[in-house]
Structure formats: C-alpha cells, structure tokens
C-alpha cells in the first residue's frame, strides 16, 4: 500500500507547552485514519502543520512521498476547525472562490451543492446558514476538485443527531469511492464506527496506533456472583484463561483471554462444586478502554 | 489573472467595500467643490482653482488626504481574511503565502488606478467647465501629477497593507496606520535634520503631491528641503517594494 502521509517526529511548541511532541505516523492509501484524543490533545495542531498553516517547531512530514507544494495541496481536500467562508457571499459564490484556488472546474459547483443537500440554498449567503449547513458547505468545498485525500477536523462538532448521521453517512460514502480520509475527533464511537485505523493522542503524545480492531477491540467483561465469594476467588487464581479479576462489592468482575467464554468459566466452577448465582456479560465501554490507553 | 479574478469575486458583493468607496467619492467631490471658497492670504481662491494646467497639481493634493481612506479600506479587506479565516483556508487549498500577499497588492494597484481615473474625470469635468484656458496644451501639460498621485496612493495602501498583515485585527491596524502616518513619523521628522527626514516614507509619499503655492510660502520663509515629485518617485518605489516584501515575510514566518 502506498503511503499517503508520513509524519516523522513532528513537534510544535508554544513556549514551554509541547502541543505536539515528536509525533510519528503513517497513513496508508485507502484507509480511514482516525486521530483520537480529548480536546487540547494536539489533533488540530497536527492537522494544521501538515496542512501548511502552522509551522512545525521540529520534525517533518511528507505527502505522497514528497514535501508539501501546490501540487500536493491540490490532491488534498481539508476542513480545519471551522468552516471558513466569506459571510456576505452566497454558497455558490463562496465555492467559486474555492474553485479558483483549487483550479477546479466551475461546473462541479452545482453538483457538489446537490451532493451535500444545499442545491436549493445555493443563493443564500453563508451567514444565513445553520451550523449543519455550514459544515456541509465546507465538505462540498473540500471535495470540489475530487481530491484523493480528505482531511476532516471534528466534522460532526456542534451538529444535532440528524446532522451527525448525515455527515457520517457522507464520509462513509466518500470512503467507499476509495479515497483516503484523515479524521480528527474526540468522539470514540465516531472513530470506532467510521475508521479503519486509529492513533490515540494525549497531551501531544502518541499513546497507541494501529487498526481500530486492535486498539479499540472491545473485550468482554464478566460479572459473576455467588453465595460465598472466597472459594470463587481462590479458583479464579488457578484458572489460566482468566486475564484479570477484581472483587467489587458483592460481585467479581473479570476478563477472559481470547477464545474463552462464560460457558468455560461456568463449567469449571461447577466442576469444583461452586454454583454461581449470576453471570453477566458486559461489553467493556470504549470510554473505559480509552482511559486505559491514555493512562498507560 | 486567477488571483485578480478571485479578488474581484470577493469585493464585488461586499457592501462594506462599496460603502467606503462611496464615502471616498462623495467627500472628495464635496472638498473639490467647496475648496474654491477657501481663503488664502485674505482672498478667496475662487474659480482660478480649476484652471488648467495647475488643476492637476491642486486636485492631486486634495486627493492626497483621501489616501488614508483607501488605506483603511485595504486594512478592512485584509483583516477580514484573518477574521473569516479565509486566508488560512486559501493556503490550505493551494495558494502560497506570497500569492496571498500579492493578491492584495493587485487590489492596491486596482484601487490606486480607480482613484487616479476618478481624479482625471473630476479634473476634466471641473476644468472644462471653469478653466479660462481649455487648449489641449494647457489640459495635458501638467497631467503627470496624476501619475505621481498614483504612486502615492499605492505607497499609502502598501503601508496600510503592512500594518494589516502585522497586526491582523482591523481596529488596531487602523489605529497603528493613522498613528504612524499622522503622529509618530511627523514627530520623528522634528527630531531629524531636514536633509535626512525628507527620505522618510511619509515625507517621500507626501512630496509626490506638493502643496500648491509652495513656491509662494518658500519666498516668505526658508525654502523647503522636500524632494520634488519627480525625485520622490524612486524612493517611493523602493518603500513600496520593501513594504510588499516585508508583508510577504511576515505571512511566511508566522502561523495562520
């Protein structure tokens, strides 16, 4: 697979604050790469640097294997932080300005407006738009010259549930055309639902990265209880497939290694004469996993 | 060409732009019209103000004051790009930083050209109505003052452009522009030898449109050391180049 974007020890310092700290990443063609992290973790700063509007303090990055230039910029459509348009111009006039810059065919403007559902509002000025419409106009602008790569910074930020669903649907449709998408988000379920790869950022540092399945694999958690807990605890210590367990009030929570289920546990308990009064399978929340990753 | 077309798209539907241009035209027409009532040395200037060929010198001197308005307009256009974050978006989309500055320099040239054409129209209008001498020779003999005015307008707007890119906030940039051109630099002039301060930027730009009747004043007091318009063109062009280059440097060195 060809590498679309390569970051090598990219850093940005604001005084003594390290907004991004020696970040190295590789985004492969065709992937939907999520940049996940809480607010202020350096996602926007990272995207700002690779988009040529923030000067890196250190390190370097390559687009399509070469340094950034007009030619590489035209292959990337990007939406950074907020939709940026002239408030007094209509949607169409704003896209004309963008089309000039991107050397895009002006005939695509109406087509893109239709695609994001703004076809009937093309003569409304930008300042009259709702937040969701502004966001969709920004997506239309980003895709105006049919770029190979889309960089989207918090594309669903501030949208209502319907707007979120629409934007996500749009992203999946775009990705289905074989485009590479780099998506920054602080929403775990967004990244899990949409992305193929993820990098977790915290305080500007890379905490984990890889395919979403590996990083955010939701291992099942079991909750069990019995009349007498001490014998259960003793047995759990001897069972090889129990990864970890902990007593919490009247029950015990535990996780099993891959390939084992609650059935195995129940059978082994019964074989030792222990009758469990309750077995509950609970999917471990993404939030809990995220906290686990960031607290490593 | 692409840059100019894009700038036109932004300006043409911008109410603020047309408002400032309307104020520019209106105030200037008023001043030109009523300046014939001005009293100099106890007598009214009268309609002799509009006599060819000196009308070009007088009108360009009047227009000189309104360069401040053009400068403010340019500051508004540039700081808008920061507050709308559209400068940032255009750099993301494929413009270079130098192109972003050059685009505004082209706007400057366009506005200066428009101001010059307006001055030409006003000169011809008032001159042909009121001038005693309307021979072709009289009309065109001192029309080169219009080209000095053009250079001056570009110079003023380039200074405004520099402050806009430096400060990025419209209010503060306008204050800095006015403060430098009307207060700070004049104070520096007082502290300096006349032979040196005549090369200071505002003085150079000012020398392009000399005060009408300066010869008269010179007769009464010690003669001014100011450069003649012809001699001021070269240093003015140097300042313009420095200001444009400085703006490019500012935008290149900082985050957007």
Query: ipTM score here?
Result: 0.89
Interface check A249 vs B, CB under 8 A: no
Give the per-residue pLDDT at B221.
Answer: 64
Record: contact B10-A89, CB cut-off 8 A: yes
Sign of CA dihedral B69, B73, B74, B80: positive
Interface check A275 vs B, CB under 8 A: no
How would CATH label the architecture of A220-294?
2-Layer Sandwich (3.30)
The segment(s) of chain A belonging to CATH 3.40.50.300 are 3-215
Average pLDDT of the segment spanning B202-212: 88
Tell me which residue of A160, A158, A211 sits closest to A185, measured CA to CA: A158
Angstrom CA distances, A67 to A29, A72, B243, stand at 17, 8, 29
Angstrom CA distances, A215 to A138, A188, A290, B48, B134, stand at 30, 12, 9, 86, 86
Residue of A251 and B15 predicted with greater confidence: B15
133-192 in chain B: CB under 8 A from chain A: none
Does position B174 have pLDDT exceeding 90, yes or no?
Answer: yes
Query: In this predicted model, what pLDDT tens digit does every residue of B42-96 receive, in sequence order?
Result: 566 667 788 888 889 989 999 999 999 999 999 999 999 999 999 999 999 999 9
Looking at the partner chain, which of A74, A85, A100 has a beta carbon nearest the beta carbon of B84?
A85
Q: Which residues pair with A201 in a beta bridge?
A: A206
Domains of chain B: which residue ranges?
2-253
Stretches where chain A sits below pLDDT 70 are 1, 217-220, 283-286, 296
> Which chain B residue has the Cα nearest residue A86?
B84
Q: Is 3.40.50.300 the CATH classification of the domain at A3-215?
A: yes
Give the per-residue pLDDT at B87.
Answer: 96
Average pLDDT of the segment spanning B187-201: 87
Does position B217 have pLDDT exceeding 70, yes or no?
Answer: no
| Separation in Å, CA of B13 to nearest CA in chain A | 7
Q: Considering only CB atoms, which chain A residues are within 8 Å of B90? A: 101
Q: Which two tokens stand for residue A2?
A: 């060809």
Distance CA B232, CA B160 (A): 19
Give the per-residue pLDDT at A191.
Answer: 86
Give the per-residue pLDDT at A194.
Answer: 86
User: Which stretches of A98-194 are assigned E, i.e. beta strand?
Assistant: 149-153, 180-185
Count the residues in chain A. 296
| Separation in Å, CA of A210 to nearest CA in chain B | 27
Distance CA B24, CA B18 (A): 10
Q: Which of A52, A104, A143 to mutate to test the interface with B (most CBs of B within 10 A)?
A: A52
The segment(s) of chain A belonging to CATH 3.30.70.100 are 220-294
Looking at the partner chain, which of B14, B92, B255 has a beta carbon nearest the beta carbon of A78?
B92
Tell me which residue of B75, B158, B81 sits closest to B112, measured CA to CA: B158
DSSP A32-54: EEEEE--TTSSHHHHHHHHTTSS
Tell me which residue of A139, A147, A142 sits closest to A118, measured CA to CA: A139
Do residues A236 and A254 lie in contact, with contact meaning Cβ atoms separated by under 8 Å? yes
Record: contact A84-B15, CB cut-off 8 A: no
Query: In this predicted model, what pLDDT tens digit does every residue of B113-166 receive, in sequence order?
Result: 999 999 999 999 999 988 888 888 888 888 899 999 999 999 999 999 999 999
Residues 6+ apart with CB under 8 A from A51: A76, A78, A80, A151, B92
Q: How far is CA A24 from the centre of its chain?
A: 17
Record: contact B92-A52, CB cut-off 8 A: yes
Give the per-residue pLDDT at A170.
Answer: 82
Does position B40 have pLDDT exceeding 90, yes or no?
Answer: no
* Angle of the B2-12 helix axis to the B97-130 helix axis, nearest 10: 70
**CB atoms near residue A287 (< 10 Å):** 10
Record: contact B84-A87, CB cut-off 8 A: yes
User: Which stretches of chain A are assigned E, i.e. beta strand?
Assistant: 3-14, 17-28, 32-36, 58-63, 76-79, 149-153, 180-185, 197-202, 205-211, 220-226, 242-248, 251-256, 276-283
19-38 in chain B: CB under 8 A from chain A: none
Record: contact B6-A101, CB cut-off 8 A: yes
> Which chain A residue has the Cα nearest residue B92?
A51
Does position B37 have pLDDT exceeding 80, yes or no?
Answer: no
């Amino acid at each position: 697979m060809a590498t679309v974007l390569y970051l090598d020890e990219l850093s940005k310092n604001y005084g003594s604050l390290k907004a991004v700290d020696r970040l190295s990443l590789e985004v492969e063609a065709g992937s939907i790469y999520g940049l996940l992290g809480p607010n202020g973790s350096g996602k926007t700063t990272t995207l700002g640097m690779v988009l040529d509007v923030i000067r890196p303090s250190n390190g370097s990055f390559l687009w399509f294997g070469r340094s950034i230039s007009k030619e590489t910029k035209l292959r990337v459509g990007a939406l950074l932080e907020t939709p940026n348009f002239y408030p007094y111009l209509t949607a169409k006039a704003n896209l004309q300005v963008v089309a000039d810059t991107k050397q895009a065919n002006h005939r695509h403007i109406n087509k893109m407006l239709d695609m994001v559902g703004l076809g009937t509002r093309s003569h409304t000025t930008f300042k009259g738009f709702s937040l969701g419409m502004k966001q969709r106009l920004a997506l239309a602008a980003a895709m105006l010259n049919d770029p190979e790569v889309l960089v989207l910074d918090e594309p669903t930020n501030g949208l209502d549930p319907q707007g979120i669903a629409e934007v996500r649907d749009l992203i999946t449709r775009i990705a289905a055309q074989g485009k590479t998408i780099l998506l920054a988000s602080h929403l775990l379920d967004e990244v899990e639902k949409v992305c193929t790869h993820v990098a977790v950022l915290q305080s500007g540092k890379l905490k984990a990265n890889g395919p979403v399945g590996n990083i955010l694999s939701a291992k099942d958690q079991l909750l069990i209880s019995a009349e007498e807990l001490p014998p259960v605890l003793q047995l759990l210590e001897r069972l090889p497939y129990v990864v970890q367990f902990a007593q919490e009030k009247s029950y015990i929570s535990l996780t099993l290694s891959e390939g084992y289920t609650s059935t195995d546990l129940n059978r082994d308990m019964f074989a030792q004469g222990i009758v469990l009064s309750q077995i509950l399978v609970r999917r471990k929340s993404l939030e809990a996993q995220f906290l686990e990753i960031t607290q490593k | 060409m692409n840059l100019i077309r894009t700038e036109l798209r932004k300006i043409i539907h911008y109410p603020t732009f047309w408002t400032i241009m309307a104020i520019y035209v209106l105030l200037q027409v008023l001043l030109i019209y009523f300046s014939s009532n001005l009293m100099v040395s106890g007598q009214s200037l009268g309609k002799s103000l509009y006599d060819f060929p000196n009308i070009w010198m007088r009108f360009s001197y009047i227009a000189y004051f309104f360069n401040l308005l053009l400068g403010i307009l340019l500051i508004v256009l540039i700081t808008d790009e920061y507050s709308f974050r559209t400068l940032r978006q255009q750099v993301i989309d494929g413009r270079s930083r130098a192109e972003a500055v050059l685009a505004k320099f082209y706007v400057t040239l366009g506005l200066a050209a428009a101001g010059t054409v307006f001055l030409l129209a006003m000169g011809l209008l008032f001159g042909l109505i009121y001038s005693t001498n309307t021979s072709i020779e009289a009309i065109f003999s001192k029309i080169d003052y219009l080209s000095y005015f053009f250079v001056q307008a570009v110079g003023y707007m380039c200074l405004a452009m520099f402050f806009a890119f430096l400060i990025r906030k419209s209010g503060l940039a306008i204050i800095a522009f006015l403060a430098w051109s009307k207060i700070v630099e004049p104070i520096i002039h007082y502290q300096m030898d006349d032979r040196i301060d005549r090369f200071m930027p505002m003085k150079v730009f000012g020398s392009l449109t000399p005060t009408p009747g300066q010869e008269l004043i010179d007769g009464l007091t010690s003669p001014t050391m100011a450069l003649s318009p012809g001699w001021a063109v070269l240093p003015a062009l140097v300042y313009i180049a420095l200001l444009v280059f400085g703006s490019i440097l500012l935008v290149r060195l900082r985050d957007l």
